[in-house]
Amino acid sequence: MIKNFLVSIVIPTYNNQDIIERLLISIKNQSCPNIETIVVDDGSKDLTADISRKYTSKVFVRKHSERSVQRNFGASKSKGTFLLFLDSDMELTKRVVADCVRKMKNSKNIGGIVIPEKSVAINYWEKVKAFERSFYNEKGDDSTDAARFFRREAFEKVGSYDETITGPEDWDLPESIKKHGYEIVRIKSKILHHERILNLPPLIKKKYYYALKSHVYLKKQNISAFSPKTIYFLRPVFYKNWRKFLSNPLLSIGMFIMLTLELFGGGLGFLVGKFTNK
């Protein structure tokens, strides 16, 4: 019975009063009944913490910590057999948690689960990002898949999220778990990802920031700086589905522009981080 397993959902957040309630409602509406929600607020200046307290008593305010640190802190305050890490701009479809628990309880060798994401897009650039993600999420892709749902035993065995990495930690943790002999699998139920991309400069800035520690991740996992993980245009999934570009020319042009600028921002961050040891 899935109700016999407690699932701890950890949400690091900052100044997300406009969106976090949507996520918390989706957690409340899960078909799996045995869930605890832990919100780790990075000192929000808005009503994020107050809104969160309407849905969970486990709201912790901790200022000026990176995402990996906040996630690990939330995990340390949890009691679940399984851990699910979410971002504030997400929304769970009704059976996500139940499907993850069923998959986990059927095999003790499963250490992590990839939950496919479906983008929710309104403006042009959000639709471009949704178009990009559609290549990855239909059948999965080794270059981009990152597990979010973990068996606590596996999570703790690898030492949780690596706090020296910000950005690539989403890839680093499941890859470390696999090295310990666990499987990483997928479910079909989806997370809705509300993209929130008004224009490109903030997206490029975020790629730059996340890439500052990417050299640490690449060295740790023995991954080349010139690989599908880092160079978007080397990802086979794009070329295997080339007909999609022909059927969506406007989105394809925008995607080329977006990925080129993201690659520039990420490449610059990588070089700055590597040679200044940030």
Any idea what DSSP says for residue 159? T
pTM for the predicted model, two decimal places: 0.94
Most distant CA pair in the chain: distance in Å? 52
How far apart (Å, rounded) are the C-alpha atoms in residues 83 and 7?
Answer: 6
Domains of the chain: 2-198 (3.90.550.10)
Task: Classify residue 181 as left (phi > 0), alpha (psi -120 to 50) or beta.
Answer: left
> What is the full per-residue pLDDT of the chain (278 aa) written as tens digits?
677 899 999 999 999 999 999 999 999 999 998 999 999 999 999 999 999 999 999 999 988 789 999 999 999 999 999 999 999 999 999 999 999 999 999 899 999 999 999 999 999 999 999 999 999 877 788 888 999 999 999 999 999 999 999 889 999 999 999 999 999 999 999 999 999 999 999 999 999 999 999 999 999 999 999 999 899 999 999 999 999 999 999 999 999 999 999 999 999 999 999 999 76
- Residues whose CB falls within 8 Å of the CB of residue 196, separated by 6 or more in sequence, listed in order: 19, 89, 126
125, 254 Cβ separation under 8 angstroms = yes
Question: Can you give 184-196 as a three-state secondary structure string?
Answer: EEECCCCEEEECC
The torsion of the CA quartet 127, 132, 133, 136, rounded to 10 degrees, works out to 160
Any idea what DSSP says for residue 111? E
Q: Alpha helix locations (H) across the chain?
A: 20-28, 48-52, 67-76, 96-105, 124-137, 152-157, 169-179, 200-211, 214-220, 236-240, 243-247, 249-276
Q: Cα-atom radius of gyration of the chain, to the nearest Å?
A: 18
Residue 66, CB-side half-sphere exposure with 13 Å CA sphere: 15
